[in-house]
Structure 1
Amino acid sequence: MSTTATSPVQGKPQPEKNGRPAVSAKPVTWKLPVTLSVLATLAFIFFGLLGPQGNAKFGVSSGGDFFQLPAIEVPAFLSGIVLSMILLGLAGYALVLKARKNVRPPRWLPAVFTVVFVVAFLIWVVGGARSPSISLAGLIAGSVTLAVPIVFGSLSGVLCERAGVVNIAIEGQLLGGAFTAALVASLTHNPYLGLLAAAVAGALVSMVLALFSIKYVVNQIIVGVVLNVLVSGLTGFLFSTVMQSDPEKYNSPGELPNVEIPVLSGIPVIGPILFKQSVVGYLMYVAVIVIWIGLFKTKWGLRVRAVGEHPQAADTLGIKVNATRFWNVTIGGAVAGIGGSFFTLVAIDSFTKEISGGRGFIALAAMILGRWNPIGAFFAALLFGFADNLQSIVTIIGTPVPSQFMAMLPYVVTVFAVAGLVGRSRPPAADGIPYVKG
C-alpha cells in the first residue's frame, strides 16, 4: 500500500514514487545541545573565570545624534560570570529537552544563546583592552555596512534555491557586479549607471548558470564553481590589461553619496543604520522586504516554492517549472550584482582583484543559517558583518586577543553557524535536482 505526501501547491495528499513521502521528519539529534554546551563551558572559563578585572565602556551616542545618551559601563568580570551562567542554563535546557523528551529546542533558544554569547564576548574583549572603550553605535553601524554585500548575496541564494537551483556562483556574481559597476561608472562618470550595470552583469552570470544547469542539466555545483573561477580570471585579466593601463579613465567610478534623512538620522544607534545610508544600503532593506513578501504572500511566491519543493506536482498544475527556475536564477543574479556594486561604489571608489574576498561563500552560509528565509538570511548576514567589523575595531583598541584569531573570526562564525547551530536545517526538497519533463 503506497503512502502519500502533501502537495505544496494544493495542500492535498499526493502519491509519491517508491511509496515514500517527499519530506520525512527530521530526527532530533544531539548536535545542537552538545554545541551549545561546549560553547557555554568555554564562555564560563574564558569570559567568566579568566575574565578581565576592569570595566568595559560602550558609547551609545555619537556627536551628530539628535539627543545624547550616557555611555554604558559594566564590570567585565562580573558580567562575564552572569552571562556565562545564562549560557550554561540555556545549554542545560536544550540537553534536558533532548534527554528527557527527545524534543528539538525551540527556535528562539539558539537565537537568544547567540545574542548572549556575542555580548559576553564583546565585554570580554573590550574589558581586557588597553583602551577599554568603544562606540556601540559605530560598531553596529559598521557591522550593517559590512553586511550589505552578504545580505544581497544571501537573498540571491534564497531566490535560486527556493526554486530548486543551487547557486554556488554568488561569489562570481558579486565580483562581476563590482567590476562592471566600476568600469561603467568610470566611463560614464555616473555611479547610478554603474549600479544598474552591476545588476545586469550579475544577471548575465546567472543566465549562464541557468542555461547549463537547467537546459543542459549539468551538475549545478560544478557549473557554479566554474563560473566563480571564470569570473575571477576574467575580471583579474581585464583589471591588469585595461584598468591599470589608464586608472583615471577606467577605474575611477566615484562614490554613491549617503542619503541622510533629517531628524530621523539623528536618533541614537538606529538613526545611522536605518536613515543614513547609501542608495545600495536602502535597496538592501527594500530587497529583504520585497523578496519576503513576494515569496510568502503572493501567488508568484507560492509557485516558486512549489517548484522548489515538488516540481512534478507543480508541472501537473500548469506551472512552467524550468521557466520559473530560469527567471528566478536570473533575478537572483541581478540582486547579487547590486550587492557587488557596494565594493566599488560605496566601500571604496575603485576595483581591485578579488575585491569580493570570499563573501559570496559567507552569503551561502548566511542563507543556510537563515533557513532559506529572506529575513532570517538578513539577520544571519548581520552576524557575519558584526564579526568582520569587530576584528577591525578590537585591533585598534589594543585587545590582548591575537590579531590572527580576530582575522579568522568571520570564518569561524561561518563554520559554527552551519555545522553546529543549524545542524539539519532542511533545504527545499527539490533543491539541486534538475527537472526533466516526462
Structure 2
Amino acid sequence: MSWKLPIIYVLGTLLGVYFALNADGITQFVWKDIRPRGGADLLLHAAPAIWVLVAVMAAATAYSVVRALKRQHQPLWLGLLVLMPLILGFLTYSGAGSPRYVTLAFLFSATLIAAAPLVYGSLAGVVCERVGVVNIAIEGQLLFGAFTGIIVASAFGSPWLGLIAAPLAGALIGVLLAFFSVKYAVDQIIVGVVLNVLVLGITSFLLGTVVKANPSWNSIAYSLPVWEIPLLSQIPFIGPVFFRHTIIMYFLYALIIILTIMLFRSRWGLRMRSVGEHPKAADTVGINVNRTRFLNTILGSSLAGLGGAAFTIGANAVFTENISAGNGYIALAAMILGKWHPVGAMGAALMFGFASAIVDFLPLVATNPIDPSLLAMIPYIVTILAVAGFVGRSRPPAAENIPYIKS
C-alpha cells in the first residue's frame, strides 16, 4: 500500500482551501489571445470559483484514498483532477481584485518557451540513457549550445548558421562524454559533472574576454524569426499558444513524434534499447555495443545543444553567464519522471516549464508584491516535490552507468 500520492493530493487540496479563504474580488481572464482585445473574456468571483475547484480536488483526493486502501493503482487522470483545478485556483487567487488580466494564452505560450530547452534536454537524456550512458552533462551541452549559437549567428550575421552551430557544439561535448565514459570506462556521472564545470568555465572566460572585446558577437539582432502558421495561428487560444513560435519549437513538435516512433517501432530503437538493457545479449546477436553507445551519446548531446539555442537565438536574448541556470539537471528530472519515454519526458518538462513561466507571470497580475527571490525558487521546489513524489515509480535501463568490456 502506497500513500505517497494520496498525501500529495491532500496537501494540494489544503493549498486550494488556503487560496479560497484568502481570495477577494473578481478575477479577469483573457484566454483567446496573448494580448487583451476588447476587455476580459471571462469574469469570475474568485472565492466561490475556487471553492468549486476545491470540491473537485477533494472528491479526487477521497477517491485516491479509497484506491490506496484497496491497494489499487493510482491512474494518471486522478492526478490531473487535482493538479489542473489547483493551477486554475492559483491563477484565480493571484488575479483576484487586480485590475490586470490573467492572460491564459500568454501564460501557456510562455510555458512552451520556457519548457523548450527542458524538453530538448530530456530527449537528449532519453537517447543517451536508453543505450546505457548517463548524460549528466546535459547542463553543459545546453550552455555550450546557447553560447555557440548566438556567437556564430552574430559573428556571421545569420541566425541559421547559429542554429546549425548549436547542435554541433552539443555534439562536441557528447564526443568528450562518450570518449571517456564509453571508450575508457570512466564513471559516467563523474565525467558529466566535470564537463559541466568545464563548459561553465570556458563560456565565462570567453564571455569576459573575447566577447567583451567584440560586443557585436553577442547581439539579439540575429535571433530567429517568429513564424505564424497560416490559419492555425488564428485559432483562439490554440493558435497563439502553439503556432506562433520560432522554428526551434516547430522542430521540437516533429522531434517528439519521430523519436517516439523510432525508439519503439524501428530496428534502430530496438538496438538502442537492447544495448541499454542487456548489452551482452546484444553483443551476442552481432550488435557493436560500444559503437552504438558512442554514436547515440553524440546524437543525444546534439539535441541538448540545439535546446541551448532556445535560450538565446530562439528567445531573442543575449548570452549571459550561466544562462542555463540548472535547467540541465531539471531536464534529467523530467526524463526520470517521464520514465525514459519521449512523451512522458515532454509532459514532465512542460510541468517544470509552467513553474518557470509563473515566476515571470505572477508580478504582472498579483495584487500583492512577492519577493523575487521566493519566486525564483518555484521551479526548483517543484522539481524536488516531483522527484520525491514520483521517482520511486520509475525504473532506469538495467545497464545504465555500467561500462561494457567485451570478454
* TM-score (norm: length of structure 1): 0.87
Deviates more, 1:416-425 or 1:350-359: 416-425
- Write the letter of the residue equivalent to 2:239: G
The unaligned stretches of length 5 or more in structure 1 are: 1-27
1:14 aligns with none
2:94 aligned residue (117, 120, 125): 125
1:238-292 CA distances to partner (integer Å, 9 max, x unpaired)? 1111000111246566111011222221111111233221111111111111111
1:47 aligns with 19
Tell me if the contact between 2:94 and 2:365 (Cα under 8 Å) persists in the aligned partners: no
Q: Are 1:428 and 2:401 an aligned pair?
A: no
Deviates more, 1:139-148 or 1:416-425: 416-425
2:55 aligned residue (77, 81, 85): 85
Q: Secondary structure at the match of 1:218?
A: coil
CA distance in 2, matches of 1:330, 1:269: 37
Q: Are 1:56 and 2:27 an aligned pair?
A: yes
Offset, 1:131: 2.9
Tell me if the contact between 2:168 and 2:305 (Cα under 8 Å) persists in the aligned partners: yes
- Write the letter of the residue equivalent to 1:43: G
Tell me if the contact between 2:137 and 2:193 (Cα under 8 Å) persists in the aligned partners: yes
Offset, 1:85: 2.4
2:4 aligns with 31
- Write the letter of the residue equivalent to 2:115: A
CA distance in 1, matches of 2:83, 2:271: 34
Offset, 1:389: 1.3
Tell me if the contact between 2:121 and 2:138 (Cα under 8 Å) persists in the aligned partners: yes
| 1:375-386 correspondence runs (5 A) | 375-386=343-354
Residues 108/432 of structure 1: CA separation in 2 closer, same or farther (3 Å cut): farther
CA distance in 2, matches of 1:42, 1:69: 30
Residues 36/401 of structure 1: CA separation in 2 closer, same or farther (3 Å cut): farther
Deviates more, 1:174-183 or 1:384-393: 384-393
1:193-226 CA distances to partner (integer Å, 9 max, x unpaired)? 1111111010010111111111111111111111
Tell me if the contact between 2:263 and 2:269 (Cα under 8 Å) persists in the aligned partners: yes
1:386-419 CA distances to partner (integer Å, 9 max, x unpaired)? 1111121211223436333322111111111111
CA distance in 1, matches of 2:218, 2:74: 54
Offset, 1:312: 2.1
* TM-score (norm: length of structure 2): 0.94
2:385 aligns with 416
Residues 117/432 of structure 1: CA separation in 2 closer, same or farther (3 Å cut): farther
Aligned residues: 406
Q: Secondary structure at the match of 1:355?
A: coil
1:126-167 CA distances to partner (integer Å, 9 max, x unpaired)? 22x533521111111111111111111111111111111111
Residues 249/400 of structure 1: CA separation in 2 closer, same or farther (3 Å cut): closer
1:288 aligned residue (234, 245, 256): 256
1:309 aligns with 277
Q: Secondary structure at the match of 1:120?
A: helix
2:65 aligns with 95
| 1:154-169 correspondence runs (5 A) | 154-169=122-137
Q: Secondary structure at the match of 1:343?
A: coil
2:157 aligned residue (153, 171, 189): 189
Tell me if the contact between 1:172 and 1:229 (Cα under 8 Å) persists in the aligned partners: yes
CA distance in 2, matches of 1:82, 1:401: 27
CA distance in 1, matches of 2:128, 2:77: 27
- Write the letter of the residue equivalent to 1:74: L
1:144 aligns with 112
Deviates more, 1:311-320 or 1:231-240: 311-320
2:176 aligns with 208
CA distance in 1, matches of 2:266, 2:369: 49
Tell me if the contact between 1:307 and 1:321 (Cα under 8 Å) persists in the aligned partners: yes
Residues 344/315 of structure 1: CA separation in 2 closer, same or farther (3 Å cut): same
Runs of 4+ in 1 over 6 A off after TM superposition: 67-70
RMSD: 2.1
Residues 421/89 of structure 1: CA separation in 2 closer, same or farther (3 Å cut): farther
- Write the letter of the residue equivalent to 1:310: H
Offset, 1:125: 1.6
CA distance in 2, matches of 1:260, 1:170: 30
- Write the letter of the residue equivalent to 1:270: I
- Write the letter of the residue equivalent to 1:148: A
Residues 182/259 of structure 1: CA separation in 2 closer, same or farther (3 Å cut): same
CA distance in 2, matches of 1:69, 1:432: 56
CA distance in 1, matches of 2:177, 2:221: 28
Offset, 1:168: 0.8
Residues 399/419 of structure 1: CA separation in 2 closer, same or farther (3 Å cut): farther
Residues 69/178 of structure 1: CA separation in 2 closer, same or farther (3 Å cut): same
1:331 aligned residue (299, 311, 314): 299
Residues 68/229 of structure 1: CA separation in 2 closer, same or farther (3 Å cut): same
Q: Secondary structure at the match of 2:313?
A: helix
Q: Secondary structure at the match of 2:310?
A: helix
- Write the letter of the residue equivalent to 1:428: P
Identity %: 46
Deviates more, 1:87-96 or 1:376-385: 87-96
Deviates more, 1:405-414 or 1:54-63: 54-63
Deviates more, 1:203-212 or 1:267-276: 267-276
Q: Secondary structure at the match of 2:394?
A: coil
Q: Secondary structure at the match of 1:234?
A: helix
